[in-house]
Structure formats: structure tokens, C-alpha cells
Structure 1
Amino acid sequence: MARVINDRLALDLLLERGPLTAPQLRTLTGLSRPTVSDLLERLMEGGLVRVTGEYGEDRRGPNARLYGLVPDRAHVAGVDLRRHAVTAVVADITGRVAGEATKTIRGELDGLVERTIRDAAGGRALDTVVIGAPGLVDPRTGELVGVSDVPGWRPGLMGRVRQRLGVPVVLENEVNLAAVAELRTGSAAGSEDFVLMWLDDGIGAAVVLGGQVRRGVSGGAGEVGMLEVDGTEFCQLVSPDVMAGLDRAELAARIAKGAAVTVSILDPGLVVLGGRVGHQGGDELARLVAERLGALAPAPTEVRASTVEGNAVLQGAVLTALDLARDHIYG
């Protein structure tokens, strides 16, 4: 057990900091010289670490070897399954993108997901696949609850995808995955508690407490779209067509009314405005929502615009897949 813990500690440092020398690993881990020497030998024999160069090549005298991760030790895929297209990104174990593919949904979805993933993989074997899709995902079964908004979705689709790919495939709500990206690289970095309000062609929210996405018993945590606000479902109050015709002040007022419910119950301290509208609205929309939210909810709450660049769902899917693969491979 001590060896496993030490090995994972060293691997995580190499993931975080890049190639390191044995003395640097000793300093960072507090482990002895023989222990670090043994773990490096063990990791190299396991094909997890290799010598990537030398430290101090620009000076005279003996140089220390630099040890780095073997990037091709495993590959993962993150998938964004939306209403119009399937997009897959494949990354190596260090997180470097190795391939990407997108296919438009024109009817039958069966087979399209696997083809998109395989095109992105380019012949590389995959360790883990994480798919983000709209809808409730039951945490116990890993399957969608009820009807999906994705055209061509049929019961048993995920089972067929898993069978054809022959690797672990995890299905997750797309807003939950966007929250993972926000927590790791976006506006919520450093905050263990927050609610992500997703304002896009779909309306919803993700709840993160204690640094973990909270899904609820049936996967319904954060489904604010069905809340009744001013006699209208929130998803209708801020639908894409409606939002396009609102001035910024009215839009902020409507968003604040939906956010006030989760803030009053959860007291997260932070609300992140995500999706296309939240990202484009920027700091100005966040400021207006914060002003109106302060008058509606009893708990003081900061509001920030999403700062995740690109596809947050896809990034969250890749990050989640990497976590699972690293636990599998690194122990």
C-alpha cells in the first residue's frame, strides 16, 4: 500500500509539473533517496515513466536525468452529444489532444456515436469514454431517465455503444460536465461550492458542493428548467428565442429569479453563468444578475461569468475520462 501511495504521489506531481529529476521528486515528496530510486525504477518498468532529457544541459559537469510520463500509455475520449451533432475529442494520459471528430445527426443515431469516437481516435486504443448528453442520467444505472432531446435516441443505445467499443463508457448530464470544466479551469476554480446556471439552447443547472458534482438520487439535482417563475416554466422564460428579444436588464432579472431558488436552498456562495448566453454576457451580465439576486435571496452570493474557452461540455467530459483512466492505470 505504501508503494502504491508513493507511486501515485510521484505520478500526480509529474502530471502537474511536467518532467522532474529524482532530487526534485525527493524534495517535493519528502521521500528518501532509495524510495524515490525504487519508485522510478518501478514506474519505468511498468511503462508509465521514461527518461525525457537532462536537467542543466547548459552547464558543465554531470547532469541529472529528467523523468516524465509516457503520454501514449493510455488514451481517453470525451464526447458531446447534442441535439444536432456528435463531437468527440481524444486525449493522451497527460491531457494532450490527439484527435477530434464531429458528425451531424441526420436521423438514426445508432452507430453514429461509435463512428465519431473511432474517427477521433484514429486507430488508438481507448481506455475510457465519457459522453455528455442533455437529460437526467440515473447515477445508479448510468442510463437516461425518460425521453432524450437528442434526435434518434433509443432505449438501450448506451448499452450498444459500450458493447461495440468494448471499453468503459460513462454517460453524464452535459451541464454536470460543464461544471467540472468550470471547477478545474474556469470561474469556479478554487471554489468548492457553486451552482452553474446553464443558459444555452438547453436551460439547466449543475450543483457542486464540497468540490463534487451532486446529482441527486435520480440524477435530477439542478434541473431548474421546470421551475415555475411568474407563472411560467423557467426554461420558457429564458428560452433562446425569448432571450434574443430581451434587453440586458430584463434578461438579468429573469435569470436572477431562477437562480434565487437554488441560492435560497443551497447557499453555494457562488453562481456561475454558463452556456452561450452566460459566456457572452460576461462581467456586465453577471453584475446585473448579482444586483437582482441580492434583493431576492437571503444569502450573499457572488455571480461570475463562465471563463471556460471553447466547448465546456467536451472539456468536462475529457477531464472526467482522464480522472477515471488515471485511477485505473496509476492506481
Structure 2
Amino acid sequence: MKTATPAMARAINDRLALDLLLERGPLTAPQLRALTGLSRPTVSDLIERLREAGLIEVTGEYGEDRRGPNARLYGLVADRAHVAGVDVRRAAVHVTIADITGQVVGSATCKLDGSLETLIEGVILEAAGGLALDTVVIGAPGLVDPRDGDVMSQTDVPGWRRGVVGSVRQRLGVPVVLENEVNLAAIAELRIGAARGSDDFVLLWLDDGVGAAVVLGGRLRRGVSGGAGEIGFLEVDGARYCYQLEAGVVRGLGRAELAERIAKGAFAFVALLDPGLIVLGGKTLHEGGDELAMLVSERVHERSPAQTEIRVSTVTGNAVLQGAVLTALDLTRDRVFG
């Protein structure tokens, strides 16, 4: 069994302190000692290292209401790095820019018109407003090949094809990662939404399209070909599931019939994975609210004895964008924080 080298121990302690500052905000040296269990000299050394690296700074003082010298508060240098989350839809591209603490500092939206890679680059730069970007994560419909990170299936986004992401990466000169948009929405549900605290769940998605994402053991499962969760291809009652839940079809359905159709897709995941939790996401399912979730729950329980909770998404705003930002922040923090 190998023991940690001094350099490795320092790196572990530094990351522990940085993660605590991310989670709790500015802290004093005594607070860092109490939360980490590290000694006074060790905390003093790591604070000095992190300040010299430009990762933390003095943000204020603590203890103004007591006698004696005040303790310095240390916080993350928010503008140490910035990331972009991008949501590519059939009609428009949406972008959110966040600093390394996760604070949103910019956004932009542009309708699809003309060269897709030129448009994506332009709306990202508009949202960034001159800020240098560390990482860009793009969410889009379709299967993403795990081998090369490029799209491997046709989508209904005009101009979307293999090579678009590579072109955007070359134009921006920073790491650009492509991910299926429902997978990113599932990341948002896992971290800040209805699945928070749940290691296993399936997100059923009904918005511009029909899809699903699978999270098991707290990790997103993409499958060998990136097709895990592509429930739209499933044949139900003699027709593809995606055709049964097209926007025009859904608008003509009553609440009970919609619940029945959703339950058939949910049951497929319950029977195969027994996830314990199904989250209903996307604009259509989110608007159905708790009433729709209850109806779906009743119909799923009629089909399976497995204990399965049905919840409506609790992510406010654009879940795909928020998942993209969270993913970009994870990648950037690993690079910047070590």
C-alpha cells in the first residue's frame, strides 16, 4: 500500500479547502482548521500557497462584534476562470456564462440562421462579453459518440452535423465538450433538482423531443454508443414512442391519456433498472405538475410491484443550460484547482 507523498498530501489538503470555500463561502483560518481537522501550521501554509496561486483572496474580516483582532475571511477569486454552458435547440441557441464559483455573469440567445458553428461562436462571445473562457459545454439532441465526443445521429437542429463541435473548438481555442441535452438536464436534477440526494433515478423528458437519461450510483450512464435513455426509439403499441408523444399529439390528449402514455415509457425503465425514482422533466411534463406525477405513479404501480417514486422536475429555468454550466464547472475546477 502506497503512502501519500508530501506533494500529494498538500494537493489533497488544498483541494479540500477549496471545495469547502465553494460550498460554504468565505471562511477564516480557524474555521478551515475546524472543518478540515488540519493543524494550524498546515492551514497557514495552504492559505499562503492558494493566495500565491491566485486562487483565494482576503474578502473581509470576521469578529467585528468581539474584542481583540479580527480574523481575516478568505474566499475564492471568482474571476479566476469562466465557463460557458450552451443549449442548442431547433429554433435558437442559448448561452450562460458563469465564474468559477458558479455565479452567472452573462447570457445571450440567438435564433438559428446561417452557419451553425459561426452562430454558436458568435453567441458565446456575445454572452462572455470579453471574458476569457476556460471550458465550454454544449447540450444538443442526439447520440453523442463516447469515443470522439461528436454527434453520431441525425437531429432536427438545422445545420447540425459531425464536425460542428470541432469547428467551434478551433474557433474559440478552448476545450469544448458536447453532451446530449437530456443528460445535462439529468445532471441538473441530480445536483440541484428533484433527484438531489438520490444515487439512482431516470429522467423522462418531453420538450422539443422525447428522451430520457439514466443515473445509477450517482453517475450518468451514457452506454457504449451514447444511446442509453434514447426511449424515443422504443416501439410501444405498434408505434415508436417518440411519435406517440409528439407536441401536436400531446396537445390533443387529455391528462389521463397523457399519463398513461408516459407511464408506458416509465415502466420500461422500472422493469429493467428498478431505479426507485422517475423524474418528469421538460416543458410539457413540468407543466403537468404534481397532478400528472400522481396519475403516472398510479399507472406505473399498476404494472410493477417495484417501489418507484414519481416526481416532477424542480429545476427552475433552463435545466439543460444549468447542467451544461455545472459540467463545465466540474471540468474547470479540476483543471484549475488540481
Q: TM-score range by the shorter chain?
A: over 0.9
- The aligned residue for residue 83 of structure 1 is 90
CA distance in structure 2 between the partners assigned to 1:58 and 1:231 by the alignment: 72
- Aligned AA (1:91): A
Indicate the larger mover: 90-99 or 153-162.
Answer: 153-162
Deviations 1:137-160 (A, max 9, x none): 011110001222210123311111
Please name the residue that 1:21 is paired with.
28
Aligned identity (percent) is 73
1:52 aligns with 2:38: no
Q: How many residues align?
A: 331
Q: Is the 8 A contact 1:107 1:151 kept in 2?
A: no
Q: What CA distance in whole angstroms lies between the structure 2 residues aligned with 1:110 and 1:308?
A: 29
* Offset of residue 17 of structure 1: 0.2
Residues in 2 aligned to 1:269 and 1:121: alpha-carbon distance in whole angstroms: 40
For 1:146, the equivalent position in structure 2 comes to 153
Tell me the equivalent position of 1:171: 178
Q: How does 1:169-248 map to 2 (within 5 A)?
A: 169-248=176-255
| Corresponding residue for residue 292 of structure 1 | 299
Deviates most, 150-159 or 187-196: 150-159
Could you tell me how far 1:30 is from its partner in structure 2?
Answer: 0.3
1:9 paired residue number: 16
- Assess if the C-alpha contact under 8 Å between 2:83 and 2:98 holds in 1: yes
Gaps of 5+ in 1: none
Letter in 1 for 2:76: L
Deviations 1:195-218 (A, max 9, x none): 000011200000000111100001
Deviation at 1:298, TM superposition (A): 3.8
Alpha-carbon displacement from aligned partner over 1:67-99 (angstroms, at most 9, x marks no partner): 000000000000001111011111000000111
CA-CA distance at 1:108 after TM superposition: 2.6
* Cα deviation, residue 245, structure 1: 1.2
Give the deviation of 1:247 after TM superposition: 1.1
Distance in 1 between residues matched to 2:153 and 2:20, nearest whole Å: 42
Match of 2:262 in 1: 255
Pick one of 34, 38, 62 that aligns with 1:31. 38
Give the match's secondary structure for 1:319.
helix
- What secondary structure sits across from 1:314 in the alignment? helix
Q: Pick from 311, 314, 328: which aligns with 1:304?
A: 311
**Distance in 2 between residues matched to 1:48 and 1:110, nearest whole Å:** 33
Q: TM-score, normalised by structure 2?
A: 0.97
Structure 1 segment 305-320 matched on structure 2, within 5 A: 305-320=312-327
Q: CA RMSD in A?
A: 0.9
Equivalent residue number for residue 117 of structure 1: 124
- Per the TM alignment, residue 242 of structure 1 is displaced from its structure 2 partner at its CA by 1.0
* Residue of structure 2 in register with 1:97 after alignment: 104
Whole-angstrom CA distance in 2 between matches of 1:256 and 1:87:
31
Q: Measure, in 1, the Cα distance between the counterparts of 2:165 and 2:16.
A: 34
Taking structure 1 as the reference length, the TM-score comes to 0.99
Asked if the contact 1:264–1:298 (Cα under 8 Å) also holds between the matched residues in 2, the reply is no
**Residues of 2 paired with 1:247 and 1:146: CA distance?**
32
Match of 2:278 among 252, 271, 277: 271
Q: Does the CA contact (< 8 Å) of 2:117 and 2:165 recur in 1?
A: no
Q: Secondary structure at the match of 1:68?
A: strand
Residue type at the aligned position of 2:271:
S
Deviations 1:136-184 (A, max 9, x none): 0011110001222210123311111110111000000000000000001
Q: In the aligned structure 2, how far is the partner of 1:238 from the partner of 1:252?
A: 11
Q: Distance in 2 between matches of 1:144 and 1:221?
A: 14
Q: How do 1:124-135 residues align onto structure 2 when only pairs under 5 Å count?
A: 124-135=131-142
Per-residue CA deviations over 1:36-59 (Å, capped at 9, x if unaligned) read 000000000000000000001233
Residue type matched to 1:127 in 2?
D
Instruction: Report if aligned partners of 1:198, 1:275 keep a CA contact under 8 Å in 2.
Output: yes
